[in-house]
Amino acid sequence: MLTHLDSQGQVRMVDVSSKAPTARVAVAEGMISMNEGAFAAIIKGNAPKGDVLSCARIAAIQASKRTSELIPLCHPLYLSKVEVSLVADEINHSFTLSCTTATVGPTGVEMEALTAVSVGLLTIYDMAKAMDRGMHITNIHLVCKDGGKSGEFHA
C-alpha cells in the first residue's frame, strides 16, 4: 500500500494521529572529499570563510530541525537529540559527517538525520569552494534506525 496516496491517488501527508508515540532514533552519514590544500586549510582553521567544521555542525543541526519545511510530506517533529560528528581522513583528504537524531513520537527521524548530513556537507562545500570546486559529496545514506512498527534497520 502506498501510504502517501489517498483513495483517489492524490498525494497526501500520512495520518499518524492513531500511532502510539515510541522512542525513535536514526543515524545517517555522508562524505566530502577535496584536494589537499582545501583539506589542510579546513583542518588548520584558516579557510578564507572561517571555521568550516563548526559552521557545518550548526548547519546540520539547523537543517534537521527544518526538515518538514524542505521535504513536502514530512511531519514536523520535536527532536529530543541532534548530534553531529565530523571525522577527518588525512590520507583521502575527506571528511565524514554523521548525524544522530532522536525523538519520542508517532513517526521516525530518518529524514531529519539524512537532511542534516546533506546540508552539513553542502555547507563544507560552500565554505571551501574557493579552494576546490571539484569536491565530491558521496555516500549519503541511512546507517541505522530504531523504533516504530518496523523496528531496527542496519545498513
pLDDT of 91 > 80? The answer is yes
- The span from the CA of 79 to the CA of 143, in Å, is 18
Cell of 68: 518538514
Catalytic residue among 15, 126, 132, 146: 126
What are the residue boundaries of the structural domains of the chain, listed by start?
22-154
Residue 15 has a pLDDT of 73
Could you tell me the pTM of the whole model?
A: 0.92
- The span from the CA of 104 to the CA of 48, in Å, is 40
126 is catalytic: yes
Residue 105 has a pLDDT of 93
Burial of 115 (0-12, 13-18, 19+ CB in 10 A): buried
Residue 5 has a pLDDT of 66
Cell of 67: 526538515
Look at the domain 22-154 and name its fold: Alpha-Beta Plaits (3.30.70)
Which of these, 123, 131, 135, 102, lies nearest to 26 by C-alpha position? 102
Residue 4 has a pLDDT of 66
Per residue in 115-130, pLDDT (tens digit) is 999 999 999 999 999 9
Per residue in 128-139, pLDDT (tens digit) is 999 999 999 999
- The span from the CA of 71 to the CA of 64, in Å, is 11
